[in-house]
Structure 1
Amino acid sequence: MNDAQPSLLILSLSPLRRDPRVLKQINLFRDKYRVTTCGYGPAPDGVAEHIELDAACIGWPRDPKRLALRRYRDVYWSVAGVAEAYRLLRWRQFDAVLANDLNTVPLALSLDSRCGVHADLHEFGPKEHFDKPAWRVLVAPYMRWLCRTYLPRAASVTTVSDGIARQYGLDYGVRAAVVTNAAPYVEKSPRPTGSTIRLIHSAAGQRYRKIEDIIEAFRGIRAGIELDLIVMPNEPGYVAELRQLAEEVPAVRFRDPVPYEQLLDTVAEYDVAIAYLPPTNFNLAQALPNKFFEAVQARTGLIIGPSPAMVELVERHGLGAVAGDFSSASLREVLDSLTPELVDGWKQHADQAAEELSAEHQSRGWETAIGALLGPALDRQ
């Protein structure tokens, strides 16, 4: 590590070693700049320095009284994770800061970096949990205040999909470039599809994802089509319900979650990945998730619902099938149409698109933004 390199702080109120998007940023910049990370959990590999936040210091507001009174500045600086990070960083200076998610942007701006702040927004913050009445009444106005007050002060902004970028522009006049959640490129050959077509769906175990509808689509399915589910235990009661339901559907099995670094190879054991995200909120409607890109690098086919960002890529590259809606019946129609020959075609198209849809290609928006910020620092060398 060269001490003369420009310094870049990558800031996220998340467990960094389990945050795929932040890890991509770290991998992209750790050899080019002197990267310091700040977030929860142990240091990511290859960084010059890591500032670990106390896991007990949560990164979101728990102050309903001040939220109701709209004392938003007090709300923000009383968030335990923000206060802890500020305490540890306030006397430090960096050439630039890469702030992940809306909840780090005011903190990043307060650090007075030499060359400015780039904001990477993983969601459309003001509508993140808009389906929950208490959140909609108390937290959404606070998130809108954060956007109005701080986003215009960021030197540059990126986000995860065209729909979310467009909304930030419409609502807050912020021009956001798009850096998708693409997976790193993997040199891999498509595996021929056998007589049994094996499907996989991996997801967080959260009720709003309606995983039960996927299970129901396999009830009474013809022989030769099987589904494995990898479901994280986010909501244990819900996951238990799913397991009980799957016991009634012989074509569906659960397998244990695997570490993130093993997930792509796990997906590659299958023929088709189901990337269903029912649009139960704005961010899910506009999503272009990790699992989509992991399937491409695994050289598997894809079955998706009519999510606009995913539809555009599936149809452009011939990666799989789009169900008419998010119902079990529509998914069942696609499943009934599957043949090994059809799936093999999807796999070949995934192989052809893998380089274009890789993190190395898609992450150029970050390289451009951070390079523009750190140009003056490089000139000083």
Structure 2
Amino acid sequence: MTELPSLLILTFSPIRSDPRVLKQVELFKGKYRVSTCGYGSAPEGVDSHYALPDDSRGWSSDKVGLLTRRYPRVYNGMTAVSAARSVLPRDEFDVVLANDLNTLPLALELQPRLGVHADLHEFAPREKEADPKWRLAVAPFMRWLCRRYLPLASSVTTVSQGIAEAYARDYGISVDVVTNAAPYTAGKAQPVGPTLRLVHSGAAQRYRQLEMLVEAMTDAPDWLTLDMIVMPNEPDYLEELKNLAVGVPAVRFREPVPYTELVKTMSEYDASIVFFPPTTFNLEHTLPNKFFEAVQARIGLITGPSPSMVPLMEQYGLGAVTADFTAASLRETLHGLTAEKISEWKRAADAAARPLSAESQVLAWQAAVEGIVKSQPARA
């Protein structure tokens, strides 16, 4: 019996709470001998796991190295890199799937027998461009990593077409797209009640300008409500949002729920607001988990004119797109909602649940890794 090829899924994230990495594990286990490396305990079904210390970090604190552009020193000084080096064997895996740019040099250094696939979760050179200090010190390091290591990957994927085009344009590489689609969930659209219940789920981060959602609901009619289910990524900002909503009775905050329960929780609502002003390049081209979770929850979507969302909104008839990224435009869209419109969007989400599921999207990962495996026989 031929032994299955070996695959290491490498990430500097907590694997069991990282939806994108978990989808990779689910896709490849049983087809390959899957090992994982990341924070926390092993995900279900893998053959082996290399845990990173919780206090190790996948980013640099070497300010001098960054400012003087001694980038090999900067990368080698990242504590997650040194921790991974101490536990991961070289020349043992057939393929390494490197999640995010910061794992790619390490993945190549491990010398997998057949090659490395890089999955880039955003456009790394502009990840935190809203921060002037980051633009000055860290962005050049990210660009160096891209120039030096991306051409060495056997294949590359990322999360949206706009980001794929940016990588291809700036670094001359071919990039496929695997969206952050949610796994298919069996279900059906629920009827719309007398109160139209809206939801927004995600991270409380200032650059996302979530205050616009509260502002758009300030004079909401009594048949319209909005629940905010947000993670306290920036606790001070979340507190500001809650204070802003004190005088807005139509808005309330709910405690975050585990990722495994999110689709079920969202199915209690009528439509999800996925509205992100393009304050950064990555946000401009975002196609986030919450977009696809709404589809699996069989509820409608209300988005801004984000270039990666609009084509899917139009193709599948999933909801409404605001005229622009202002609170006034969002308010106008919300005040124009009707039960009939939302019922139509819910039916459209039900019809789109399979084609927009993770099971359809992850085939690009499968093809990429299969391409690496078939490219040459594994070394003995």
Q: Does residue 30 of the first structure (1) align with residue 29 of the second (2)?
A: yes
What secondary structure, in the 3-state scheme, does the structure 2 residue paired with 1:38 have? strand
Conserved 8 A contact 2:115-2:372: yes
The equivalent of 2:310 in structure 1 is: 311
Distance, in Å, in 2 between the alignment partners of 1:204 and 1:31 is 33
Structure-1 residue corresponding to 2:339: 340
**Cα distance between partner residues in 1 of 2:86 and 2:147:** 25
- Partners of 2:197 and 2:269 within 8 A in 1: yes
Q: TM-score, normalised by structure 1?
A: 0.97
8 Å CA contact 2:199, 2:228 repeated in 1: yes
Please give the residue correspondences for 1:202-213 in structure 2 after superposition, counting only pairs within 5 Å: 202-213=201-212
User: Aligned equivalents of 2:114 and 2:182: distance in 1?
Assistant: 29
Q: Percent identity?
A: 56
Q: Which moved more, 1:87-96 or 1:314-323?
A: 87-96
Contact kept? 1:3, 1:34, Cα under 8 Å: no
RMSD: 1.5
Q: Where in structure 2 are the equivalents of 1:162-173 lying within 5 Å?
A: 162-173=161-172
Match of 2:250 in 1: 251
Per-residue Cα deviation, 1:97-153 (whole angstroms, up to 9, x for no partner): 000000000000001101100000001010101111111111111100000000000
Q: Quote the offset at 1:62 in angstroms.
A: 0.7
* Equivalent pair of 2:124/2:142 in contact (CA under 8 Å): yes
The DSSP-based 3-state class of the residue aligned with 2:92 is coil
Question: Residue 127 of structure 2 corresponds to which residue in structure 1?
Answer: 128
Counterpart of 1:76 in structure 2 is 75
Match of 2:291 in 1: 292
Q: 1:315 to 1:198 in 2, by over 3 A?
A: same
Shift of 1:237: 1.1
Contact 1:39 1:51 in 2 (8 A): yes
Give how far 1:90 is off. Answer: 3.8
1:272 maps to amino acid: A
Q: Provide the C-alpha distance between the structure 2 equivalents of 1:177 and 1:212, rounded to a whole number of angstroms.
A: 34
Q: Is the 8 A contact 2:197 2:224 kept in 1?
A: yes
How far residue 92 of structure 1 moved from its aligned partner, in angstroms, is 5.6
Contact 2:89 2:110 in 1 (8 A): yes
Letter in 1 for 2:154: A
The 1-side partners of 2:177 and 2:198 are apart by 30
Any unmatched runs of 5+ in structure 2? none
Distance in 2 between the 1:184 and 1:231 partners?
A: 21
> Which whole-Å CA distance do the structure 1 matches of 2:238 and 2:91 have between them?
44
CA drift at 1:245 = 1.4
Q: Does 1:149 align with 2:148?
A: yes
* Structure 1, gaps ≥5 residues long: none
Deviation at 1:77, TM superposition (A): 1.0
Q: Is the 8 A contact 1:123 1:159 kept in 2?
A: yes
Shift of 1:91: 4.0
TM-score for the superposition, normalised by structure 2: 0.98
The 5 Å alignment of 1:49-68 reads 49-68=48-67
AA partner of residue 72 (structure 1): Y
| Contact 1:297 1:350 (C-alpha < 8 Å) held by counterparts | yes
- 1:116 equivalent to 2:115? Answer yes
Q: 1:256 and 1:361, CA in 2 relative to 1: closer, same or farther beyond 3 A? A: same
CA distance in 2, matches of 1:13, 1:243: 32
Q: Distance in 2 between matches of 1:84 and 1:284?
A: 31
Quote the Cα distance in structure 2 between the aligned partners of 1:310 and 1:119.
Answer: 24
- The answer on 1:352 being equivalent to 2:351 is yes
What SS does the corresponding residue of 2:26 show, helix, strand or coil? helix
Q: Residue 198 of structure 2 aligns to which amino acid in structure 1?
A: L
Alpha-carbon offset, residue 70 of structure 1 = 0.8
SS, match of residue 158 in structure 1? strand
Give the secondary structure class of the aligned counterpart of 1:189.
Answer: coil
